[in-house]
Amino acid sequence: MHHLIPKLMPIGITEALSSRFPSELGQEPSRCAPPGRAEHADLTELKSVVESTLIRTMALANSSRRLSRHVGLGIVSAEDHSNYILHREELEILSPRACRRKQIEFATGRAAAHVALKQLANAFPVLRDHKGEPLWPEGIVGSITHCYPWSVAVAIKGPNLFTVGVDLETTERMKGTDITELVCSNTELDWVRGGNLQERLTMIFSAKEAVYKAFYPLCRRYIDFKDVELTWVPAQSCFHGRFLAPFGPNLPRGQVCAVHCHSYTELVFSCVIHSRGKVGMHQTPGSWLTRST
C-alpha cells in the first residue's frame, strides 16, 4: 500500500530537530544503546560491501534490475545529517518522546531513503504505517536500516514486482545479552557454535530481520524468529531461509528465499530481494526462491 504524496515541505534536519526537540545531539544521557564499533567503519568500505551484496542478490534473483538504473542505494552517517533535508510530513511521524539517538537515526534513515529515491525518481517523503513499515511512493519498494552512526536505504523501481529487506548490525550488539535461544533453532545453533559465535549469531539475527522487513509488507503479520529457519550455503555465500509456517496464500510453509549476508570487521549487512510474482515457480539451482516440501 502506498501513501498519497503530500505536498513537499522540505526542512533542514538540524533546524527541524532542534526546534522540535530541546536537547542537542549528544547532550542527552541516552537510554539507547551506547555507540558500537560501527563508528569505526569507513564509508567507502561500507558502500563497497553493500553494493557488492546487492549485486550478488540481484544476480541470484535472476533479476535484470541494475544498480543506479533500477535500484537506488543511500548510505548516510549521523555526522552528515545536517547536509540533508527532511519533509515536514516525515518529521511529524517522529515521536517527541524518542531518545536523541532515535531522532538522529530516523533523520539519517530518511536522508538515506531520499538519496536512494533520487537515483530512481523525485525526492518524495517516505512515511510509515502504524507498524513501522516505511511507505514508499507508487511503483517503488524499499527498505531502511540503522546501525549507529550509519543508515542504509535501498529502493527498487518495480512497479511492485519486488519486495526488499535490508539490515545492518554490529557484532557488538550481541555482547552482554544471550539471545541465542530467542533467535535460533537447534540446527541454527549448531551452525552458530561451529564457528565465531558472536559473528555467526549476528549474521542469523541480521538475516532474520531482513527477512521480516521484506515479507512483512506482503503478509502484514508478525513473523517470529523461529518461524523461519536459515541454512548457510557456502557456495552461494548466502542463507537459504525456509518458512516453517504459512504466512499467506503466496507465502506457504516450506517456501525458501535467499538471504545474502556479508560480514566484515564488526559489521554484518543482510539483504533479501523477493520477486512477488514468482513464488514457488523457480526451481533451478541458481534461483533465489524455491519451494521445498
Q: Which chain residues interact with ligand COA by CB under 6 A? A: 106, 109, 128, 131-134, 144-146, 167, 208-209, 211-213, 216-217, 223, 225, 227-228
User: Toward ligand COA, which CB reaches closer, 144 or 267?
Assistant: 144
Name which of 33 and 59 has its Cβ closer to ligand COA.
Answer: 33
Closer CB to ligand COA, residue 58 or residue 144?
Answer: 144
Tell me how far, at minimum, the Cβ of 182 lies from ligand COA, in Å.
Answer: 10
**Which residue, 6 or 62, has its beta carbon nearer to ligand COA?**
6
Residue 127 bridge partners (DSSP): 135
Could you give the C-alpha distances from 293 to 243, 248, 254, in angstroms and in order? 11, 17, 6
The residue nearest ligand COA at its CB is 132
Q: Identify the residue whose cell numbers are 538475516.
A: 207
Name which of 62 and 244 has its Cβ closer to ligand COA.
Answer: 244
DSSP output for 226-290:
GGEEEEEEGGGTEEEEEESS--BTTB-TTEEEEEEEEEETTEEEEEEEEEGGGTTT--STT-SEE
List, in sequence order, every residue forming a beta bridge with 170; answer none if it has no partner.
Answer: 267
Minimum distance, C-beta of residue 14 to ligand COA, in the bound complex (Å): 17
Smallest CA-to-CA distance from 74 within 148, 141, 145, 163 is with 145
Which CB sits closer to ligand COA, 213 or 240?
A: 213
Q: Point out which residues pair with 67 in neighbouring strands.
A: 71
**Which residue number, 62 or 133, has a Cβ lying nearer to ligand COA?**
133
Instruction: For strands 127-128 and 134-135, give the pairing.
Output: antiparallel
Instruction: Render 211-240 in DSSP notation, one character per residue.
Output: HHHHHHHHH-S---GGGEEEEEEGGGTEEE
As given in the structure block, the three cell numbers for residue 117 are 529515491
CB of 94 to ligand COA, least distance (A): 9
Amino acid occupying residue 245: A
